[in-house]
Structure 1
Amino acid sequence: MALFDLPLDQLREYRSASVEPADFDAFWTKTLREAREHDLDARFDPVDTGLKTVQVHDVTFAGFGGHPVKGWLTVPTAVDGPLPTVVEFIGYGGGRALPHMHLLWASAGCAHFVMDTRGQGSAWGGGGTPDPVGSGPTYPGFMTRGVEDPETYYYRRLFTDGVRAVEAARAHPLTDASRTAAVGVSQGGGIAIAVGGLVPDLVAVAPDVPFLCDFPRATTATDRDPYREIGNYLKTHRGRTERVMQTLSYFDAVHFAARGRAPALFSAALEDQTCPPSTVFAAFNAWAHVDKEIEVYDFNDHEGGGPFQDAVKLRWLPARF
């Protein structure tokens, strides 16, 4: 795929047209307050994986609505002190998968907490967390579940789970709550941005080719799923565009980015049709903290930098810890 979005010099200046709801902060304050009315009840059960260099715990904690959410906590063996902690969120359709698939950050000397994604995990990387909340009619996928009201939208539950995942990771004695970072790719990157806007004391946020950014542009700039799910829903439910876009504005990563208080490392790919580069730059340009960088991969699609970006993060993140 050739370049299809704005030229790079324009991307660096691009600003989203997404309008922030007047009650954005009140909505999220209420949402998190209600979630915290449930005991976090973080449980860490040791797992015998056959791995010798790491210890793995099967995690369960209470997310949105007190619903049980799964995860893995992986730490290097023979550690005797609190460790810098990386909380990771998963891409669209995936789940926490198997522990041996998540060894990068523990190998770098960190505690690594990977959150399962409620209701997902059947497209790749199996998951174990159901979403017990129903919704009205939707287009197949997750993008339109409850999309006509911010109170019922799927990502209200998922972003809340993300905040609670940070709290659960910090509850373990081998993690250092004062040195916690959020990372993720694609949907995971969008969740990391949301968590970065909702948790004020993270030390770093590293979203790669993030999804869920700049909905007004994303839904019209690409016809590739998952954004296309929204267009297909509106193609059937004529006349509801304004209502749906109003709901999405409460979940647009651009608005969370404007509240980002930690150093950030983004990445974008200029041939990415899944998460168009202008939408990624919209969130990056809105990120509030002055210490921010973006890696640009000029001839890549949604795979972005892949392992090359991992190498960049391995150099960048320790300095923030």
Structure 2
Amino acid sequence: MNFADYWAVVDEELAAIPGRPVVDLVPQRVTAEATSYTVRLTSTGPYRVFGHLSIPTGDGPFPALLQTPRYGSVNHVPHPNDRSRYVVLGLMHRGQRLADEGFSAAYPGLLTMGIDDPASYIYRGIAADCLRAAEFLMSLSEVDPARVAVSGDDLAVLTAARRPGFSAVRVTELLFYRAMEARLRSSHYPLEELNDYLRAGSSPEIVDNTIAYFDPARHAPAVTGRSLVAVEDPDWCASLIEALPAADVYQLTHLDGTDNDFLDAWLSELSGVPPLSRFITT
């Protein structure tokens, strides 16, 4: 199946399944700045996924931020700085903690689950989870539709490409980008899962074929908003940066205060809210 048809089928499956959102107040997480909720949504499968939703106090509509899930079993509640300025939704995809009823994702192991067939690859469902979360966030009356951002890894690019309406995309990690080359440059997980899987006898051609559907550089031309690619080696990411229609580039320093302040300021300027540092300055 070609690239366009593959993703069109995912969209068709989502369109046929009602999201059935259930939103519950979390009283212990209500502050003067924001009100917090838990959210459950139905994605493809059907499968119920989970999210932390927070809405700022005051008169909206507010800018919004979708945080796509990182690779790992746990995703945290969005930071108070984000909750005070954005309608922020932090998603837990299928198999992650709080979205693991009936299926618990294995780490390591999730990256290669079902990878021999693009139709059964776990990330097909995970991508659908992100798309469903985007639909839900954009449907909220508290959200300003002109100021909706998404932040995360390759899933952020994929989500912005397939759901028009994102004004900003902030990419802070990469997993699928040039993955079959990147696995040869490091023995660190999660990319080492690909090497483990291939050593067990799978075909590199089969694995590469599946991963290609998730390559952010292939999705990037469909992104319509401004984007920031924050990476350690901008030269390595040149094809992704060039494929994004309006990309800014930031070279990570791995100094937490420096990096976090830049990433926050970039998005806050586009969203029309004040920048906030996560660190005490003297």
Q: TM (normalized to structure 2)?
A: 0.87
How many angstroms does 1:40 deviate by? 1.1
Query: What's the secondary structure of 2:95's corresponding residue?
Result: coil
How many angstroms does 1:206 deviate by? 0.7
Alignment of 1:53-68 (within 5 A): 53-68=33-48
Counterpart among 16, 21, 27 of residue 6 in structure 2: 27
**Cα distance in structure 2, aligned partners of 1:74 and 1:34:** 28
* 1:266 and 2:229 are equivalent in the alignment: yes
Change (3 A) 1:256 1:264: same
CA contact (8 A) 1:192 1:206 kept: yes
Alignment-derived partner of residue 103 in structure 1 = 80
CA contact (8 A) 1:42 1:171 kept: no
**Cα distance in structure 1, aligned partners of 2:175 and 2:257:** 12
**Cα distance in structure 1, aligned partners of 2:174 and 2:270:** 18
Deviations 1:152-196 (A, max 9, x none): 111111111111101111232212334321112xxxx21101112
Structure 1 residues without counterparts, runs of 5 or longer = 1-21, 121-126, 271-276
Query: What's the secondary structure of 1:95's corresponding residue?
Result: coil
Deviations 1:73-115 (A, max 9, x none): 11112x2332211111122104333x4x5222232x2211111
**Cα distance in structure 2, aligned partners of 1:130 and 1:64:** 15
Amino acid at match of 1:312: A
* 1:292 and 2:247 are equivalent in the alignment: yes
Counterpart among 18, 23, 36 of residue 39 in structure 1: 18
Alignment-derived partner of residue 261 in structure 2 = 308
CA contact (8 A) 1:163 1:195 kept: yes
CA contact (8 A) 2:108 2:189 kept: no
Counterpart among 282, 288, 301 of residue 239 in structure 2: 282
Alignment-derived partner of residue 11 in structure 1 = none
Alignment of 1:132-143 (within 5 A): 132=102, 140-143=108-111
Alignment-derived partner of residue 134 in structure 2 = 166
Counterpart among 87, 101, 110 of residue 66 in structure 2: 87
CA contact (8 A) 1:267 1:305 kept: no
Alignment-derived partner of residue 49 in structure 1 = 28
Change (3 A) 1:96 1:133: closer
**Cα distance in structure 2, aligned partners of 1:319 and 1:54:** 18
CA contact (8 A) 1:266 1:294 kept: yes
Query: What's the secondary structure of 1:61's corresponding residue?
Result: strand
Q: TM (normalized to structure 1)?
A: 0.77
Change (3 A) 1:316 1:80: closer
CA contact (8 A) 2:95 2:103 kept: no
- Greater relative CO (CA pairs within 8 A, separation 6+): 1
Alignment-derived partner of residue 117 in structure 1 = 93
* Number of residues of Structure 1 aligned to a counterpart in Structure 2: 272
CA contact (8 A) 1:63 1:161 kept: yes
Change (3 A) 1:115 1:134: closer
How many angstroms does 1:292 deviate by? 1.4
**Cα distance in structure 2, aligned partners of 1:304 and 1:71:** 27
**Cα distance in structure 2, aligned partners of 1:193 and 1:205:** 7
Alignment of 1:133-282 (within 5 A): 140-184=108-152, 189-238=153-202, 240-270=203-233, 279-282=236-239
**Cα distance in structure 2, aligned partners of 1:116 and 1:269:** 26
How many angstroms does 1:315 deviate by? 4.2
Amino acid at match of 2:112: T
CA contact (8 A) 2:95 2:104 kept: no
CA contact (8 A) 1:213 1:279 kept: no
Alignment-derived partner of residue 278 in structure 2 = none
How many angstroms does 1:197 deviate by? 1.6
Structure 2 residues without counterparts, runs of 5 or longer = 274-282
How many angstroms does 1:305 deviate by? 5.7
Amino acid at match of 2:266: K
How many angstroms does 1:211 deviate by? 2.3
Query: What's the secondary structure of 1:114's corresponding residue?
Result: strand
Query: What's the secondary structure of 2:111's corresponding residue?
Result: coil
**Cα distance in structure 2, aligned partners of 1:111 and 1:134:** 28
Identity of aligned pairs, percent? 23
How many angstroms does 1:147 deviate by? 0.3
Change (3 A) 1:89 1:228: same
